[in-house]
Amino acid sequence: QSVLTQAPSVSGTPGQRVTISCSGSSSNIGSKTVNWYQQLPGTAPKLLIYSSYQRPSGVPDRFSGSKSGTSASLAISGLQSEDEADYYCAAWDGSLKGVLFGGGTKLTVL
């Protein structure tokens, strides 16, 4: 049972901007950085955003992260069909003393 809450699904059309939200608490997002992972169908997750805002080398700048208080968001602009995937937020939790994942959000490109 995830303590990081994500909407199960979101959709958008090509070229559109979509936002995926992640809600936590003071023991995780409120005090630690947030990381985002993209999981394309049938593949392993891939790091998309780290330290709340940073993009690894090779990740397009269409992807951006933000954080405020105990919530975080992943924004995808200029939506493309290849962005259709599951997106997971994650953060260190001081109470769990471990890594928490959100339940995941399935992005559908219409």
Partner 1 sequence: QVQLQESGPGLVKPSQTLSLTCTVSSGSLRSGAHYWSWIRQRPGQGLEWIGFIYYSGTGFYNPSLKSRVTILVDTSKNQFSLELSSVTAADTAVYYCARLTTEDFYFDYWGQGTLVTVSS
Per rule CB under 8 A, is residue 10 in the interface with partner 1? no
Cα-Cα end-to-end distance for the chain: 29
Nearer to partner 1, 61 or 98 (CB): 98
Is the separation of the CB atoms in 103 and 10 below 8 Å?
Answer: no
Angstrom distance (rounded) from CA 104 to CA 39: 10
Instruction: Please select the residue that binds partner 1; options are 29, 72, 90, 109, rule is CB under 8 A.
Output: 90
Burial class (CB in 10 A: 0-12, 13-18, 19+), 95: exposed
Site residues for partner 1, 42-71, by CB under 8 A, read 43-47, 50-51, 56
Per rule CB under 8 A, is residue 24 in the interface with partner 1? no
Per rule CB under 8 A, is residue 101 in the interface with partner 1? yes
Is the separation of the CB atoms in 105 and 38 below 8 Å?
Answer: no
Chain residues binding partner 1 by CB under 8 A are: 2, 32-33, 35, 37, 43-47, 50-51, 56, 88, 90-92, 96-104
